[in-house]
């Protein structure tokens, strides 16, 4: 069945996730199914959440419960680049608060906001398992940067602006 939100490729992935659970336990596939859709669109609109629940033949409220509980699901469209500054204990002890303030100043936005041009979204995150390199940031949920200084932050932002992400 065609769906304006779920492409055939997404449905294949969701069905693959769902197949790992007993038929009467499709609710268990919700986390992965929602992740599949978020990976594609970058966020989860109401239509996307509804589409996932409908595809799994689950009450829509189940999907909303998952999305609202886990902070890694996005309910707002993010900027092109999402910068997450770790603010858990190791990073906090290595001045992650200063790093957050520096990011806010350089980007001209507050935590949780997106720059008007749509290029950057700034968020804080719990530990990203780079404690030995605190303070650490995670870019686009994929690239780690450790021991981030003001100079290094400038390089990272410049690299993202020019699509030349410096190697870490
Ligand atoms: S506390 Fe920041 S990476 Fe672990």
Residue 76 is assigned to a structural domain of this protein: no
Pocket test for ligand 1, best of 84, 128, 168 (most atoms within 8 A of CB): 128
Residue 166 is assigned to a structural domain of this protein: no
Element (H, E) at 120: strand 120-125
Q: Return the CATH number at 117.
A: 3.40.30.10
Q: Is the CB of 88 under 6 A from ligand 1?
A: yes
Do 40 and 64 lie in a common domain?
Answer: yes
Using the atom order of ligand 1, give the atom closest to the CA of residue 127. 4
Mean pLDDT of each 10-residue bin along the chain, 168 residues long: 83 95 93 95 95 96 95 90 96 97 97 94 95 96 95 95 63
Do 93 and 26 lie in a common domain?
Answer: no
| pTM across the whole model | 0.77
Angular region, 160: left φ>0, alpha ψ -120 to 50, beta rest: alpha
Q: Is the CB of 136 under 6 A from ligand 1?
A: yes
Do 95 and 125 lie in a common domain?
Answer: yes
Element (H, E) at 97: helix 96-107
Residue 1 is assigned to a structural domain of this protein: no
| Containing structural domain, residue 152 | 81-161
Quote the number of domains for the chain. 2
């Amino acid at each position: 069945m065609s769906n304006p939100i779920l492409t055939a490729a997404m449905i294949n992935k969701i069905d693959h996730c769902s197949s790992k659970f007993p038929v009467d336990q499709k609710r268990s596939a919700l986390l992965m199914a929602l992740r599949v859709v978020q990976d594609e669109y970058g966020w989860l609109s109401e239509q996307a959440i509804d589409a996932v629940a409908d595809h799994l033949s689950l009450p829509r409220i189940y999907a909303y419960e998952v999305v609202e509980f886990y902070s890694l699901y996005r309910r707002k469209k993010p900027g092109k680049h999402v910068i997450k500054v770790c603010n858990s204990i190791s990073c906090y002890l290595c001045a992650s608060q200063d790093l957050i303030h520096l990011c806010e100043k350089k980007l001209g936005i507050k935590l949780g906001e997106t720059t008007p041009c749509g290029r950057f979204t700034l968020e804080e995150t719990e530990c990203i398992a780079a404690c030995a390199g605190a303070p650490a940031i995670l870019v686009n949920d994929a690239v780690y940067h450790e021991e981030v200084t003001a100079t290094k932050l400038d390089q990272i932002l410049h690299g993202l602006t020019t699509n030349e992400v410096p190697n870490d």
